[in-house]
Structure 1
Amino acid sequence: MNLSTLLLFSFFVTRIVAIATLQICGTWVSIWNHLYMISEGTNEEEFEISRSFCQSCGGDVVIFNTSDLLGELEELIVTLGSSKSNFWLGIQRNVTQREYFEWLDGRPFSIEDSAWRVDQPNDNPGIQNCVATFRNDDWQLQDKQCSDRYDVICQKSL
């Protein structure tokens, strides 16, 4: 086994272990014609690991179809009864047009109509391609490095 094969194997084993540490799929709760689940494991994870976890449970990271993003987000978290404080959302920076964001389903996410925290998005230090929300900031959005670690809200259709 050469060094590159060993490194690749190590990378995949690390990712598999990280997904397993999130938790076994929890209980899905039906709200607004979708099913939702919050990762209730003890480990917050990077965006891609969190997304892989949601997908392994049959869903994806939560997205919204609403003009009241913050209102629905807070209502969802309260309804799910979570005490968690920081969550990934299914929004990412467009890699070819960095000033734009889009939902994971490809719909554009309008910065002008959104609920960004006052100093956001700031793309500091030029690699903040994922979006998270924080209880301490009244659920307002911040662009973050995808390698940061937060909990995740998973969603799937009924």
Structure 2
Amino acid sequence: MTGFRLLSFLGTLAVVAATDIKPASKYNTKCHSPFTEISGRCVHIDVSKTGTWQNMRKFCQQLGGDLVNLSDLQFYGDILLYIESLHLPHAHLWIGATDEATEDVWMWTDGTPVRMGTPFWANFGDNNSQMPDGGDSQNCAMLDVNMHYYFNDFSCSKLDISPLCEK
């Protein structure tokens, strides 16, 4: 019985040790402060800054980047894991998607179209409606902390949203 316990303990120890090993990044991306490498891209979240979508975009541009483009599902998932690891206070985050130029035509700041529907945009309500639903009064996208960081359309002039920048 003692041999079984020792083998069991050593097996558990091996599993724990294997899961604690951080593999070398497959990306050769070097991010300079204040940016952090996530999936080969440089990102920065600053919850001490809040403002309108346009002002937070300018903030990101002053850092040499822009609001983040989350068109890649793997990158979006990695960003969510990163946000979770930061244990941020209750904070919504502006992302680089807008339909200000043409209503219901959502575009990233680089001019590429935003994928609509699941798995990016939040669902809500008893009838499980899906964002965006704000019409011409809500033209900027954010990661909504109240909707588990799914995309939500909001008024671009909302002042209490922080930037999620990418360089």
In the superposition, the TM-score normalised over structure 2's length comes to: 0.67
Partner of 1:85: 91
Q: Which residue of 2 aligns with 1:129?
A: 139
Percent of paired sites with the same residue:
24
Residue 103 of structure 2 corresponds to residue 108 of structure 1? no
Which is greater in Rg? 2
In the TM superposition, residue 112 of structure 1 has moved relative to its aligned partner by: 3.3
CA distance in 1, matches of 2:107, 2:94: 14
Pick closer, same or farther for the CA change 1:37–1:141 going to 2, 3 Å: same
Which residue of the partner structure matches residue 60 of structure 1? Answer: 66
Distance 1:40 1:85 in 2: 7
Query: What secondary structure does 2:73 align onto?
Result: coil
Structure 2 alignment gaps of length 5 or more: 1-32, 124-128
Whether the 8 Å contact between 1:69 and 1:115 is mirrored in structure 2 is no
Q: Using a 3 Å threshold, how does the CA distance of structure 1 residues 143 and 69 change in structure 2: closer, same or farther?
A: farther
Q: Deviations over 1:66-115 (max 9, x none)?
A: 1356523312313555335200011111523x122111111111213542
Separation in 2, partners of 1:46, 1:75: 25
Higher mean alpha-carbon deviation, 26-35 vs 87-96, is at 26-35
**Paired residues, what number?**
129
Gaps of 5+ in 1: 1-25
2:79 aligns with 73
RMSD: 2.3
